[in-house]
């Protein structure tokens, strides 16, 4: 159970690195391809929000999806590679359920540069996800593990 929770936390955090990658690579796209990335398109399709609220709604939904995918990863065998899982999330989403639910066209109908950007972002997410889970597990076993609490021993807390 704790690995699923660690996966959710790490997935949320990995989404920050993914988002930074997406933002950096978005600026390198050809001008005609520099329209909002899929998380914004998906959010506005699923949640009718005002133009003013669209960016915040996109960020919330994007990070929630990253946390949910991280929790799923946490439930998988430890031998599962994050660098395989990240692109698998992209594949299942952008060639699977998203076009299947008529939210967006399949990735095969989007510019190649945008697909490369999204694939790179999912690789970053998968790598950071595994690193995050390992850090959480290591912290739970060392820095946050059991042992005497100094303040309580010295009577500072009653």
Q: For 15-68, what is the HEC assignment? A: HHHHHHHHHHHHCCCCHHHCCCCHHHHHHHHHCCCCHHHHHHHHHHHHHHHHHH
Kindly report which listed range (29-43, 104-118, 128-142, 144-158) carries the lowest average pLDDT score.
Answer: 144-158
Q: Contact 119/87 with Cβ under 8 angstroms?
A: yes
What integer pLDDT is reported at residue 64 of this predicted model?
99
Q: Is 141 helix (H, G, I), strand (E, B) or coil?
A: helix
Q: What does the mean pLDDT of the chain come to? A: 95
Model confidence band, residue 147 (pLDDT cutoffs 50, 70, 90): confident
Using CA atoms, how far apart are residues 49 and 107, in angstroms rounded to an integer?
24
- For residue range 96-124, list pLDDT tens digits in order: 999 999 999 999 999 999 999 999 999 99
CB atoms within 10 A of CB 40: 17
Q: Contact 69/130 with Cβ under 8 angstroms?
A: no
pTM of the predicted structure, to 2 decimals: 0.92
Listed in sequence order, the residues at least 6 apart from 110 whose beta carbon sits closer than 8 Å to its beta carbon are none
Judged against a pLDDT cut of 70, whether residue 8 lies above it is answered with yes
Burial class (CB in 10 A: 0-12, 13-18, 19+), 3: middle
């Amino acid at each position: 159970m704790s690995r699923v929770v660690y996966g959710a936390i790490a997935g949320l955090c990995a989404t920050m690195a993914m988002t930074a990658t997406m933002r950096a690579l978005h600026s390198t796209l050809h001008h005609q391809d520099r329209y909002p990335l899929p998380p914004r398109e998906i959010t506005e399709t699923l949640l009718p929000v005002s133009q003013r609220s669209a960016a915040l709604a996109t960020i919330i939904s994007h990070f929630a999806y990253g946390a949910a995918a991280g929790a799923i990863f946490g439930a998988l065998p430890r031998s599962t590679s994050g660098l395989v899982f990240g692109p698998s999330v992209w594949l299942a989403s952008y060639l699977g359920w998203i076009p299947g639910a008529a939210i967006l066209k399949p990735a095969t109908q989007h510019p190649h540069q945008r697909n490369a950007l999204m694939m790179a972002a999912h690789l970053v997410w998968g790598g950071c996800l595994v690193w995050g889970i390992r850090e959480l597990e290591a912290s739970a076993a060392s820095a946050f593990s059991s042992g005497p609490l100094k303040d309580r021993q010295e009577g500072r807390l009653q």
